[in-house]
């Protein structure tokens, strides 16, 4: 009699795993000849789709924009008479719930057991240690610096060195620049700060980056003092995440 026509193989929901199970000969299933092609093509399409989906589904942490727009190192209103009362702590678990910046004493009372990072200062600009954020934030492409034997990242864009000083000369000679603000970099990184990486991430995902007049801009301190505006929040184009 006539032999039965070979049935077209049914593709599983996870072609990649099924493809490798066929290679291993599990369950006696091992298609031959041209019947490998549908499984291989499906596995390849599935792998590409999963990689694209993973990139698209890697959101910016909810707390990141709050972190970048928060003013640190102000005196804590809850502990005005205590030493070490500068607000240089930020809680990742509370996602920047007010007040987003708090002091050493607030941490002990309100954030015990939470993931808290400490903000530090370098040349009047806020930095965070790489070791404190590398497990919770994608810092790929951001220039790092070694300060007090610890590797750190700047939170936001800084003004470009100007004049005839050593810093300005070094910046002018650097072949590397931040892709967002143009600041000279020491090494072949893409961004000078977490804020500039965030601008790039928003552009890549179709979100408009914040501007100097956006909601992330910090208001002036009481009395209109210029010191109350030490920096903007998220990087802006003044001369202005992968």
Q: What is the pLDDT of residues 52-73, one digit of tens each?
A: 555 444 568 989 999 999 999 9
Domain ranges in the chain? 15-47, 64-229
More confident residue, 216 or 85: 85
CA distances to 13, 126, 129, 140, 145 from 148, in Å: 52, 14, 11, 22, 10
* Alpha carbon 230 to its chain's center: 23
Tokens of 164: 């005839």
pLDDT at 228 over 50: no
Query: Using one digit for the tens of pLDDT, what is the confidence trace for 5-48?
Result: 555 555 555 555 655 565 555 555 555 556 666 766 777 776 76
pLDDT at 159 over 60: yes
- The pLDDT assigned to 45 comes to 74
Answer whether 210's CB lies under 8 Å from 193's CB.
no
- The pLDDT assigned to 86 comes to 96
Answer whether 89's CB lies under 8 Å from 106's CB.
yes
Nearby residues of 24 by Cβ (< 8 Å), 6 or more positions away:
none
Nearby residues of 103 by Cβ (< 8 Å), 6 or more positions away:
76, 78, 79, 82, 84, 85, 86, 87, 88, 89
- Predicted TM-score of the model (pTM): 0.60
CA distances to 17, 40, 46, 119 from 10, in Å: 14, 13, 15, 55
Average pLDDT of the residues in 169-188 = 84
pLDDT at 87 over 70: yes
Nearby residues of 147 by Cβ (< 8 Å), 6 or more positions away:
120, 122, 127
Answer whether 193's CB lies under 8 Å from 153's CB.
yes
Candidates 198, 185, 209; CA nearest to 241 is 198
Buried-state track 14-39, b at ≥16 Cβ within 10 A, e below 16: ebbebbeebeeeeeeeeeeeeeeeeb
pLDDT band at 80 (very low <50, low <70, confident <90, very high): very high
pLDDT band at 226 (very low <50, low <70, confident <90, very high): very low
Average pLDDT of the residues in 126-140 = 96
Share of the chain above pLDDT 90, in %: 45
Candidates 184, 190, 95; CA nearest to 140 is 190
How far, in Å, CA of 127 to CA of 147, rounded? 10
Average pLDDT score, the chain: 75
- The pLDDT assigned to 223 comes to 38
**119 pairs with which residues across the strands?**
128
CB-based burial of residue 163 (10 Å sphere; 0-12 exposed, 13-18 middle, 19+ buried)? exposed
- The pLDDT assigned to 41 comes to 72
């Amino acid at each position: 009699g006539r032999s039965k026509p070979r049935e077209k193989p049914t593709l599983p929901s996870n072609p990649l795993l099924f493809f490798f199970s066929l290679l291993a000969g599990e369950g006696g299933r091992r298609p031959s000849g041209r019947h490998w092609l549908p499984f291989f093509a499906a596995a390849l399409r599935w792998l590409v789709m999963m990689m694209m989906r993973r990139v698209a589904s890697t959101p910016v942490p909810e707390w990141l924009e709050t972190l970048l727009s928060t003013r640190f190192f102000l005196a804590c209103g809850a502990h005005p008479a205590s030493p070490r009362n500068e607000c240089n702590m930020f809680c990742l678990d509370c996602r920047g719930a007010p007040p987003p910046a708090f002091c050493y004493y607030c941490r002990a009372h309100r954030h015990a057991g939470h993931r808290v990072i400490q903000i530090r200062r370098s040349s009047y600009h806020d930095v965070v240690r790489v070791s404190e954020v590398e497990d919770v934030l994608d810092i790929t492409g951001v220039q790092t610096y070694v300060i007090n034997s610890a590797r750190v990242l700047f939170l936001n864009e800084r003004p470009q060195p100007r004049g005839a000083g050593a810093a300005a000369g070094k910046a002018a000679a650097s072949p590397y620049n931040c892709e967002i603000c143009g600041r000279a970099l020491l090494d072949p990184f893409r961004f000078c700060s977490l804020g500039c990486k965030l601008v790039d991430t928003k552009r890549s995902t179709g979100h408009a980056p914040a501007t100097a007049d956006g909601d992330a801009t910090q208001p002036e301190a009481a009395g209109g003092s210029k010191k109350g505006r030490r920096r903007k929040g998220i990087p802006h184009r003044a001369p202005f995440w992968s």
